[in-house]
Amino acid sequence: MSVSTAASTRTVCAPLPVLGRDVTVPLVTGGEVGYAALDYAASAPALQRVWDDVAAYAPYYGSVHRGAGYLSQLSTDLFENARKTVAEFLDCRPDDQLVFTRSTTDSLNLLARALPADCQVFVFETEHHASLLPWQDARVSYLDAPRTPRQAVATLERALADRDPHGPALVCVTGASNVTGELWPVRELAAAAHAHGARIVLDAAQLVPHHPVSVRDLDVDWVAFSGHKLYAPFGSGVLAGRADWLRAAEPYLAGGGASRKVTRREDGGVAVEWHESAARHEAGSPNVIGAYSIASACKALTEAGWDTLVAREQRLIAGVRAGLAEIPEVRVLSLFGDDAPRVGVISFVVEGWNSSHFAAALSAEYGIGVRDGLFCAHPLVRTLLGSDPGTQGECGAPEAAPGEKSLNAIRVSFGAGTPDEHVERFVNAVRELVADGARWTYRTENGRCVPAV
């Protein structure tokens, strides 16, 4: 599919300009339309500010921590200043460590490798796979999906009360669901964890792009997130928090940068002295552009003002939810109910439609990009949908198991770079598709629902 860019003659009503805001895409019904990127929960577009900062730095790119030359020294300063900027953005404690990783998934796998011996991990089944799956080598207790924030806290308290009080324990919880957008009671869950001698790590992948996150105020021990969800899609992530478990663990990766001193032993092997700083888990040449892009995004969001950003997003959320509520065939998915606070992530199903078919029609006929499937949160979506939603459609869910062709949902997500027009067009498109049906025929190809040609 070809794409093009065109100068926009309409004011983009978004507080932070993003790349791609002027991209146009072809429609199967003819003509082109400005692309409505409404899949921020998967990867948010790069902020124009981030792109400009990276472009300005690119000619000065050099190796980090290893060179005497000017560009190397400049790049090293930029990398370490990025670490300070992100730590300030997260309101970290003075003795916290901030490690640059590849993503939220990488961050939580790093922490999983750093768990003390015989550590017990508590995680709700509602988590994204990035925070659900890394703990396979630990003693894991998977907690049932709660239906209210209060029930979430009570469920955790019961589970922690039954654990061995003398061993180490870790609670892993999301800040905002990547399926429903609902905010979790992080501060209360942290208090419950600490009251029972456990630590807590916050998966903030879906929270940091939408709300300020203070490690100190929430009283979490670690926080993890990805740059590509924070308008900085350059392959970098963050793990920030308590230093002791990280210092005591073997390096996540063995290699240059993580080692302070390497010598030959008399037996012919090598002896290694590892760094105790964040460098211990940052072996190899670091992704300085990725780290710098995260810092740039943190500055842009802070300067734009969280009060302004949050208030606008809440207005967009209210508009989408009100529009969908007017369509009887649409069911919005929720754990905590309509009144739960949430970020700009909304999942739903449409009666009589397979969700993959519906998402394909939004793209091909309206130029609107959303997500369909189980959103790397299979247990949660299965809980919300039930084992057999009973919907029909020309196309099945991507990679659906036999008998589960219809077990999928549609997710729309947006943020600080989303124009009002995009969410308005989305609601109108949903209304039209439900009322009139698709104007094109679709088929399954390589696991995806695509327009038939």
CB-CB contact of 236 with 287 (8 Å): yes
For residue 243, the SS3 value is: coil
> How far is residue 305 from each of residues 13, 43, 312, measured CA to CA in Å?
16, 22, 11
Cα gap 149→156, rounded to integer Å: 11
> How far is residue 411 from each of residues 14, 177, 249, measured CA to CA in Å?
21, 12, 38
Backbone angles phi, psi at 6, to 5 degrees: -145, 145
State the Rg of the chain over Cα: 23
Cα gap 41→54, rounded to integer Å: 23
What stretch of H or E contains 430? helix 420-436
Q: Is 376 known to be catalytic?
A: yes
Cα gap 122→144, rounded to integer Å: 11
Cα gap 250→101, rounded to integer Å: 16
> How far is residue 63 from each of residues 54, 56, 75, 79, 277, measured CA to CA in Å?
16, 17, 7, 10, 19
92, 172, 298, 376: the catalytic one is 376
Task: Label residues 91-109 b or e (16+ Cβ within 10 Å = b).
Answer: bbeeebbbbbbbbbbbbbb
Cα gap 351→330, rounded to integer Å: 6
Residues forming the active site: 376
